[in-house]
Chains A and B, each alone.
Chain A
């Protein structure tokens, strides 16, 4: 079973708008990562946030982490049609060697 839950499951926006998706997890983590997947292909690493960090930026991406609520959010600003993909959060436990993925958010950016 998957540890994380993502919300919403699907998101449809116009180009130029912001896209926000949320992720919850169940156990203490070392870090949380976000990945993008295009059309059922391989996963591309987007950003990693450590458990002692609260916010991180990378280009048009902004990630927050609230360890008290066991949740994270990914914001994509000024979305483009090329951002159309599925986005997954993946948590890594403090003592562990695997990533536990959420169910993903399918984002459609309409031109």
Chain B
């Protein structure tokens, strides 16, 4: 167990809806990264938050957005859901912004879009 928690565990949404996923970082960590993992593939970087600011973004459209709160927990919001958004969403926390080496992953949220 890494101390990183995510909620909910599973979620089913309809195309066009909006979804919010939540992540609580490990104690002492101030950086949260979000990844999308499609079935049978490796995780792809969505974005990272460091001290409540976005600190890097992958190749994802603007309908993927996020927040980080003063306690360093984070949310991932996806608007106008598409079928291809069905995936496992992983968050990872680490102790410093861009310089951290090891990321601690949560168990993930499985999102199914129908």
Contacts and interface: CB of A to CB of B under 8 A. Distances in A.
B48 A97 contact: yes
Contacts of B44: 2, 101
Contacts of A31: 101
A69 interface: no
Interface string B6-43: 00000000000000000000000000010101010111
Interface string A75-111: 0000000000000101010001111111110000000
B84 interface: no
Nearest to A45: B102
A45 B104 contact: yes
Contact of B98 (A1, A2, A97, A103): A97
B32 to A, nearest CB: 12
A42 interface: yes
Nearest to B108: A42
A102 B55 CA distance: 22
Nearest to A88: B42
Nearest to B96: A97
A104 B88 contact: no
Interface in A1-60: 1-2, 4, 31, 33, 35, 40-45, 48
A90 B33 CA distance: 14
B102 A33 contact: yes
Nearest to B33: A98
B98 A42 contact: no
Nearest to B104: A45
B92 to A, nearest CB: 8
A44 B42 contact: no
B90 A98 contact: no
A53 to B, nearest CB: 12
A92 B33 CA distance: 13
6 contacts: A43-B43, A98-B48, A99-B45, A101-B35, A102-B42, A104-B41
Given A33-B102, A98-B48, A99-B103, 4 more contacts: A2-B42, A41-B107, A45-B104, A98-B45
